Amino acid sequence: MSADSRNSRAAAVPRVPSDVQGVEHWRSGAGSGCLDGSDGAEGMLENVFVPAFDTGASHEGLVWLMCCDMCIGAYDNAQIIRTYGTSEVLCVLADRSVISVPEQSVACRKLNEQMMQIIRSVNMSETEFLQAAIFMNRIWRFKPEIVSPATLQSLMVGACLLSYKINSDHILSNYHWAQMLGINVKTLNQIEIVILSALGFNTFVSTDDFNAIRTAFEQRVASQQQCKTLM
């Protein structure tokens, strides 16, 4: 598939117009913990108890690593124009128009901030966040044309919303989420539809798949912490 085709479809994904926009490469199976998600069944994540996040965790934690993986993959696969002498970065779309996107390092930081805002606001558990990451990995493997630096934040927000709804007993409405994110409900509803469609409405995650990604990132977090201790 051509880069123009990928960017054309990516441009159709609603964007989250928030100031807080948004390890190996997290793309098409290239990174640690990348899963097929091809079980072919719909359902809920099997019961795996994981305590809620410590939202005061350092940037070397799981959320930071996940956000960096996603941003590296999105920028590596995009048509990017860098304007010398300025900090502006442009992403080329299929019609040859361009859209401004943050520098990769800035995008990673802002995506991390957005994810931490969601985690704090809805008390998201590690289980729910990891399941959202599994959804993103499936989209990257099976619908890579909709993933770009311009859409990554919106897609991850939608994946978090879907994972939250699947796992929560008392669900906050899309209106509540829209207010929290500073967007209108219609935009959030569109993002949710894009996510479900990209997943083929298959939201089942097996215990084995979940444990595989959790173990992979726990090992990476532990390695980061060990390196920091030795410095």
Q: What is the pLDDT along the chain (231 residues), one digit of tens a residue?
A: 444 444 444 444 555 543 333 322 333 333 333 333 333 333 333 333 333 344 344 434 889 888 999 999 999 888 888 877 777 788 876 556 788 898 899 999 999 999 999 999 999 988 899 999 999 999 998 898 888 898 999 999 999 999 999 998 888 999 999 999 999 999 999 999 999 999 999 999 988 888 888 888 887 777 766 666 666
Number of domains in the chain: 1
Q: Is residue 86 part of a domain?
A: no
**Full domain range(s) for residue 213:** 16-78+103-230
Those residues whose C-beta lies under 8 Å from the C-beta of residue 175, and which sit 6 or more positions away, are 185
Q: Is residue 66 part of a domain?
A: yes
Nearest-angstrom CA–CA distance, 54 and 161: 20
Nearest-angstrom CA–CA distance, 78 and 90: 10
Q: Is residue 121 part of a domain?
A: yes
Q: Is 187 exposed, middle or buried (0-12, 13-18, 19+ CB in 10 A)?
A: middle
Picking from 145, 140, 181, the residue whose alpha carbon sits closest to that of residue 161 is: 181
Q: Is residue 98 part of a domain?
A: no
Q: Which amino acid is at 3?
A: A
Q: Is residue 123 part of a domain?
A: yes
CATH number for 187: 1.10.472
Q: Is 8 exposed, middle or buried (0-12, 13-18, 19+ CB in 10 A)?
A: middle
Q: Is residue 25 part of a domain?
A: yes
Q: Is residue 218 part of a domain?
A: yes
Q: Is residue 95 part of a domain?
A: no
| Token representation of residue 40 | 């072919």
User: What is the per-residue pLDDT for 17?
Assistant: 42
